[in-house]
Amino acid sequence: MSAFEDQSGKISSKLFRQIIEPQSGRKRDEVITGPGFGVDTAVIDLGNGNGLATSSDPVSLIPLLGLKESAWLSVHLLVNDMATTGFAPQYVQFVLNLPADFPRDSFEQYWKYIHEFCDDLGIAITGGHTAQVPGQESTTPGGGTMFLQAPLDEIITSDGAEPGDKIVVTKESALVSSSILAKSFPETVKEECGPEIYEQACENFYRTSSLQDALEATKVLAPKTELKAMHDVTEGGLLGGITELAEASGCGFRVDSDKLPVGEAPQKICELFEIDHRLCVGAGSMIMAVAAGKEEALVNYLNDQSIPATVVGELTEKSEATILIEDGKEDSFKFDGNDPYWNAFFKAMEKGWE
């Protein structure tokens, strides 16, 4: 019997609460924010007015995508988690369990890109573990942990939203998933969607950092009182991310599906691969919970910084459940935890798409 019910993807909220949450080592008073479903970062009180924020994520090594692109994902998906604090990460450690047949020159290139992306962002690589492992074939061969130090009372966490807060989303849905699919199966996407859509998707790949979105938001709204919570869009896409933020904060939500932003390239590529853009991993987009009355100022400011932003709904009392509005009709929405992106990726490989 598989540890997870669906045998893939992130652990479900139910299993997390049953297995991990009640068994998280020694309880220490200085751990302000510990393990929580939908919570991007842990926060530790350093006792000097500062806090240590830390977060972990898998690294990526996707042969069809390329070494540079894989290194970009390895660094920036970690950065996106840390960006939810309202601050930029400062340090990182990597664990790499690479395939046994991974060539030396490929490793040198891959690591060179990881170094350069970290250096560009001011992040010091402070250590880790590197090895080659027989039988390793995963596209996520290891992980990384990032750290930052900042004033404790200014560090935002994704469990800080409250009923009545407005939900703001930056950029658009399915940015990273549609980009990876296009870059991994270029001939199929060019033939079925056209070369312009393919080029748009490739350009979107390097829009998959949400660090600037978060840092700019803290310039116009006060952290924790006006900008209540942030959550980056990973597995489960926009709707999965909103569900996680609401659950972490003990809230329900009401979201208008028609307001969820999607660009032409992500929409057409998701249609080609028969997946719902609202539920696909969407790194590059940031979900923000904003005090009511402050959302317009945030959206206008971000748009002025060339960061598209949209109000898509609001947080509600938990008792009001989770509501999705489609075609003007309200209905209960339950995210099942499944992101259709990976199945689409592997099905395309099985079909021999190029």
Task: Identify whether residues 120 and 47 lie together within a single domain.
Answer: yes
Helix, strand or coil for residue 306?
A: coil
Q: How many domains does the chain have?
A: 2
The answer to whether residue 219 sits within a structural domain is: yes
Please say which residue of 105, 120, 154 terminates a domain.
154
For 320, the token pair is 């009001």
The stretch 121-148 carries a mean pLDDT of 96
In a shared domain, residues 208 and 342: yes
Domain ranges, residue 236: 166-351
Mean pLDDT of 211-219: 98
pLDDT value, residue 7: 52
Distance of CA 326 to the CA centre of its chain: 24
Q: Are residues 48 and 97 in the same domain?
A: yes
Residue 7 lies in a domain: no
Q: CA geometry: angle at 295 spanning 287 and 159, to 5°?
A: 40
Return the ∠ at Cα 310 (arms to 37 and 334), rounded to 5°.
Answer: 40
Task: State the alpha helices, DSSP H only, in the chain.
Answer: 13-15, 67-83, 104-120, 175-184, 186-193, 195-205, 211-220, 237-249, 264-272, 295-304, 341-351
Q: Which of 107, 132, 154 is the last residue of a domain?
A: 154
pLDDT tens by residue, 30-51 = 999 999 988 989 999 999 999 9
Sequence-distant (≥ 6) Cβ neighbours of residue 87 within 8 angstroms? 53, 148, 150, 154, 155, 215
Q: Are residues 96 and 184 in the same domain?
A: no
pLDDT at 3: 60
Question: Does the global pTM surpass 0.85?
Answer: yes
| Same-domain check for residues 101 and 217 | no
Is 274 found in the same domain as 197? yes
Question: At 308, which CATH number?
Answer: 3.90.650.10
The residues facing 91 across adjacent strands are 124, 147
Q: Tell whether the model's pLDDT for residue 1 goes beyond 70.
A: no
- Residue type (1 letter), 313: G
In a shared domain, residues 104 and 239: no
Q: What is the pLDDT of residue 338?
A: 86
* Same domain flag for 114 and 194: no
